[in-house]
Amino acid sequence: MQTQDVDPIDAMKLRSAKDKIERKIIQNNMTLSVFFKVLDSDESNSIEIDEFKKKIHGLACGLDDDEIVMMWRKLDKNGDGAITFDELINEFSRLSTEQLVKRLSFTFEQSKIDLLYVFNRWALRDPSHKVMHIPEFEKALKSLINVKLID
């Protein structure tokens, strides 16, 4: 595992770069899996620095080359020279959770749908993702509902 000591200025730049990327993902209404596919231009299931630079510039995220390289290094958690989907998800997990909650909320507001339908629609739509079993999904959903009812 690569260790990354970041000074306060670089930490601020990283936060700013991440915010810009998150805004672009949201603005384009992309899921993280779609965002990963956009970045992975050679369809190798990993993103090398040249792919990352080219696609981030192409998406007009507003990052300069130094910010792009800094963000890429942050995403490449194991230091192997490539970003995997898991590494991307780990860094942008807050965004992934927010997207899921937003979609679930919208789905439940629009119609009365059973949990099995929601499970199949959201958890299994991309077979490359890890599978969440129905009891785990029910537990997670119930905890979200309880939090919303309490707040």
Q: Where are the domains of the chain?
A: 8-92, 94-150
Confidence band for 78, pLDDT divided at 50, 70 and 90: very high
Which candidate, 23, 14, 11, 4, places its Cα nearest to that of 71?
14
Give the pLDDT confidence of 103-149 residue by residue, as tens digits: 666 666 654 555 555 555 555 555 555 566 667 667 666 665 554 43
SS (HEC) of 40-62: CCCCCCCECHHHHHHHHHHCCCC
Which candidate, 53, 46, 50, 56, places its Cα nearest to that of 86?
46
Please state whether the predicted TM-score (pTM) of the whole model is above 0.75: no
Confidence band for 67, pLDDT divided at 50, 70 and 90: very high
Give the pLDDT confidence of 1-19 residue by residue, as tens digits: 444 566 888 889 998 999 8
CATH class assigned to 8-92: mainly alpha
Q: What value does the mean pLDDT take over residues 58-64?
A: 92
